[in-house]
Amino acid sequence: MINKILIANRGEIAARIIRTCKKRGIRTIAIYSEADKDAPHVQLADESACVGKAPVNESYLNSEKILAIAKEFRADAIHPGYGFLSENDTFASLCRDEGFIFIGPKSNVIQKMGDKIEARKAMKAAGVPVVPGTEDAAQTAEEAVQLAGELGYPVMLKASAGGGGIGMQVVHSEEELVKAFENNSKRALSFFGNGAMFLEKKIENARHIEIQILADEHGNVVHLFERECSIQRRNQKVIEEAPSTFISDETRKKMGNAAVQAAKAIGYTNAGTIEFLVDKEENFYFLEMNTRIQVEHPVTEEITGIDIVAAQISIAQGNVLEITQEGVTMSGHSIEARIYAENPDTFFPSPGHISHVTFPRGQHVRNEVAIRSDYDVTPFYDPMIAKLIVKASTREEAIIRLKEALEVYKIEGIKTNIPMLLKVIKHEAFVSGNTTTAFVETYIKK
């Protein structure tokens, strides 16, 4: 039984996890860095402990200290949230070795999916289509040039151990590739400790559509349909929605089945997401698997009525999935907008003091937040400070609801991307559902 969970995270996701725990009568332990001692997630938790200094290496990435706190406060389980240690297989192993339930998949599965080349191989073996690309990593620019020649330009250059868009670049020529390889390989080495790069054919006018799955420890896997996440800046998602306006019911079914098949093939357990690129003919290709809860999980919760965090906890306790595939249904349309502390034109970070916040309210408006009035947004962590989620019976209504909510949302004292979000959702191409991953650079970025 899980009676007490330590949340190895911060920000809105920590607050989100605490909310489900409260509903289920599970006690929570928050951890916080010195920069976060007054953070909302700390106030919401039943107990809390300082995990170290502000820099992530000395706090939210300090597994030893986190485990020491879990022991001291007698946690039963550890929820890693997203980012930080959530996809660190060593941390998952350590948690289990120390006798805690790690709310996530098995370490070997995290490891396999974390290595993009291994993940591609596993998906191919499971019969899931993958983007045409290199089978092995390129260690040098010369190797990359040769491989790119075989694939044909443009190609996507990616860090083998990458994530969050770091070490990733579209390359159109050999000359560009040589330069990009050196830069990105160096960055990947400093960020992930691994400078290996791989190449994929660039899918033109692609959409980013992903499938949420839930898998228990008894071999049952269901999918909770798709999320369309094509609106991105700096290769990070900005607006996500469910369902996708683009794919047909037939494609939806095919993608869902492929995701379930993939999860079964790799022995996946807990909540996970399989990201696909979808081209204009609705061909879909495996991109990567996220072995954790995702930022955009609320849109799926809104259309299916399933609490994904609750499902994660239940699965981690060894329970059989409470739902079957036939029992998963969707209704209405949900859109999430990520609120970033950043300049809306340049997308450069904008930390600082928030003097006052006015949140939008309403029956179909959901706020997931990590801020409040009179609060400092520090430069140490991700610029995402809140998420705004709306639901309506149709996409048109959902867009109107989102627009109204964004118009009353006021975060005073720092710059945020709210003006950019409004520009996106008012744009004719967004309204008509014409949302490819090139949207922001095509229509928004100055």
* Contact residues for other proteins, defined by CB under 8 A: 55, 164, 234, 341-342, 348-352, 378-383
d(CA 212, CA 216): 14
CB 110 to other proteins: min, Å: 21
CB 342 to other proteins: min, Å: 8
Q: Which residues pair with 337 in a beta bridge?
A: 239, 388
d(CA 231, CA 222): 26
Taking the least distance from each CB to other proteins, the nearer of 35 and 328 is: 35
Q: Which two tokens stand for residue 248?
A: 């047909």
CB 33 to other proteins: min, Å: 14
Taking the least distance from each CB to other proteins, the nearer of 348 and 361 is: 348
Are the CB atoms for 347 and 426 separated by under 8 Å?
no
Taking the least distance from each CB to other proteins, the nearer of 325 and 378 is: 378
Helices 297-304, 308-316: inter-axial angle, 10-degree rounding: 100
Q: Which of 260, 242, 289, 194 minimizes the C-alpha distance to 392?
A: 242
Output phi, psi for 300, to 5 deg. Answer: -70, -40
Taking the least distance from each CB to other proteins, the nearer of 129 and 351 is: 351
d(CA 155, CA 135): 14
Residue 99, judged by CB atoms within 10 A of its CB (0-12, 13-18, 19+), counts as exposed
Q: Which residues pair with 267 in a beta bridge?
A: none
d(CA 406, CA 427): 15
Q: Which of 119, 114, 266, 260 minimizes the C-alpha distance to 200?
A: 119
Taking the least distance from each CB to other proteins, the nearer of 166 and 259 is: 166
CB 14 to other proteins: min, Å: 17
H helices within 116-248, ranges in order? Answer: 116-125, 141-151, 174-192
CB 380 to other proteins: min, Å: 8
d(CA 336, CA 341): 16
Taking the least distance from each CB to other proteins, the nearer of 55 and 129 is: 55
CB 166 to other proteins: min, Å: 9
Q: Tell me the catalytic residues.
A: 292
Taking the least distance from each CB to other proteins, the nearer of 153 and 191 is: 191
For residue 201, the tally of other CB atoms under 10 A from its CB is 17
CB 383 to other proteins: min, Å: 4
d(CA 312, CA 277): 26
CB 414 to other proteins: min, Å: 10
Taking the least distance from each CB to other proteins, the nearer of 157 and 255 is: 157
Kindly state the helix (H) or strand (E) to which residue 302 belongs, with its residue range: helix 297-304
**For the residues of 399-422, what is the DSSP string, one character each?**
HHHHHHHHHH-EEESS--SHHHHH
d(CA 66, CA 12): 19
